[in-house]
Amino acid sequence: MTRRRRSRRRRLLDHEEEQNPLTGVANLFDIAMVFSVALLVALVMSYQLPELLSPTDDITIVKNPGQKDMQMIIKEEGEPVKVLNMSEELGTGTGEALGTAYRLADGSIIYVPFDNSSGST
């Protein structure tokens, strides 16, 4: 009887498991997810916009300023991201002038608010 036990043990130890072709790709989905998240973080860092990952920063991005396909992307804390597209419609309504914007010779734009006491610059 001891001889039978030894032979069974040897057969179990010498017996190779059946080869399953999917055992090598069992974690492929996990690897793909880690790779996609790393790619997303690398993309944000390459555009030098780490503020998009921070939940506390408010940020406004203007894409293609002054062109027909201009977009404004606004991210505020606690609110969903808003994308505003340029349109040909003119806004109407009542309001008050807040200041004047000037374009300098180097192309930069500065804003000068009106003095509150006199209503002019």
Judge contact between 121 and 112, C-beta under 8 A.
Answer: yes
Give pLDDT tens digits for 55-65: 777 888 888 88
User: Could you tell me the pTM of the whole model?
Assistant: 0.38
Q: Which residue has the tokens 């010779």?
A: 105
Q: Compute the average pLDDT of residues 43-54.
A: 72
Q: Distances in Å between the alpha carbon of 80 and those of 34, 49, 60, 76, 94?
A: 25, 18, 13, 7, 28
36 pLDDT more than 50: yes
Side chain identity at residue 103, one-letter code: R
Long-range contacts of 78-82 (CB under 8 A, 24+ apart): none
39 pLDDT more than 90: yes
pLDDT of residue 24: 66
SS3 96: coil
